[in-house]
Structure 1
Amino acid sequence: MKPITVIFDGYCVLCSGFARWFKKRAKLKTYMIAAQSEEGRQLLKEANISMENFDEVVVKKEEGKFLSGPLAILFLLSNVGRIGRICAWILKLLPDVVIRWGYRVIAKNRYKWFGKRSTCTVITN
């Protein structure tokens, strides 16, 4: 299976923590890229997402398709072992509107609730 690329907010404590957690447990070959890096900005441009509006995890799948927000999280959880698959399965039982709403609430408040780093997180691939 070809590698996937995960683009995350390198300043967000929650986002970078999730990225590290996923990288350790991923069943897929994964590249973790901070959105604030040059490569991250280029990938976001390729996905038609501007840095001014960036507040979602983005996954570039092996076939070049992009997933963002809750779809990206569900995809990542589905590929991180038994606990991740169980979490994804439980979340998929909820209506899409509830999943999107929950994701938006967390994304909007991520710095306030979880903190913001003074330097951008880099995860070595």
Structure 2
Amino acid sequence: MQHIKSDRNYSNPIVLFDGVCNLCTTSVQFLLACNRKENLHFASLQSDFAKDLLAQYKLTNEELSTIIFIENEQIYTKSTAVLELTKHLIYPWRALYFFKFVPRMITDWVYNLISRNRYNWFGKKNQCMVPKPEWKHRFSE
């Protein structure tokens, strides 16, 4: 987790995800469906918006292999990002947040295993996900 003061003031949490990864885009669709407050916003890591945001937060290309969750000017990656996201979901999914008490070394090991194999196991698209019209306002390009 990084805490960095940003020049921009985002009022909603932002999820940066791999827009060509089938697992990632399916996960985003799940988040959209289970986030009743509709306060989560999204951008693919391949978008200009995400590239600008990554540069602003001084993140390197190495972070491009992970989900990035930014909330209240704090940056979360890997399993920490996933667990922080669960706080914004409906029950029973919200209860997954309690996995935060499992040592990060273990949760990141599981995350890294899935991340390294995500294209082989779940496939990859040729282009980034295009959101449904009813979700478009929650995406930055």
Partner of 2:120: 112
Q: Secondary structure at the match of 1:59?
A: strand
Preserved CA contact (<8 Å) 2:80 2:100: no
AA partner of residue 42 (structure 1): D
Which of these two proteins has the greater Rg computed from alpha carbons?
Answer: 2
Is the alpha carbon distance of 1:70 and 1:47 closer, same or farther for their aligned partners in structure 2, counting shifts above 3 Å?
farther
Preserved CA contact (<8 Å) 1:7 1:57: yes
Among 34, 47, 70, the residue aligned to 1:25: 34
Partner of 1:60: 70
* Distance (whole Å) between structure 2 residues aligned to residue 108 and residue 46 of structure 1: 26
Partner of 2:97: 88
* Distance (whole Å) between structure 2 residues aligned to residue 50 and residue 121 of structure 1: 23
Is the alpha carbon distance of 1:52 and 1:72 closer, same or farther for their aligned partners in structure 2, counting shifts above 3 Å?
closer
Preserved CA contact (<8 Å) 2:32 2:38: no
Greater shift, 113-122 or 80-89, is seen at 80-89
Question: With structure 2 as the length reference, what TM-score do the two structures score?
Answer: 0.78
* Distance (whole Å) between structure 2 residues aligned to residue 70 and residue 12 of structure 1: 17
Q: Secondary structure at the match of 1:36?
A: coil
Partner of 1:101: 109
Greater shift, 91-100 or 12-21, is seen at 91-100
* Fraction of identical pairs, as percent: 25
Q: CA deviation at 1:93?
A: 4.3
Moved over 3 A (4+): none
Q: CA deviation at 1:45?
A: 1.8
* Distance (whole Å) between structure 1 residues aligned to residue 55 and residue 26 of structure 2: 24
CA RMSD of aligned residues (A): 1.6
Question: Given the alignment of the two structures, is residue 75 of structure 1 paired with residue 84 of structure 2, yes or no?
Answer: yes
* Distance (whole Å) between structure 1 residues aligned to residue 70 and residue 100 of structure 2: 21
Q: Name structure 1 gaps, 5 residues minimum.
A: none
Is the alpha carbon distance of 1:41 and 1:75 closer, same or farther for their aligned partners in structure 2, counting shifts above 3 Å?
same
Q: Name structure 2 gaps, 5 residues minimum.
A: 1-10
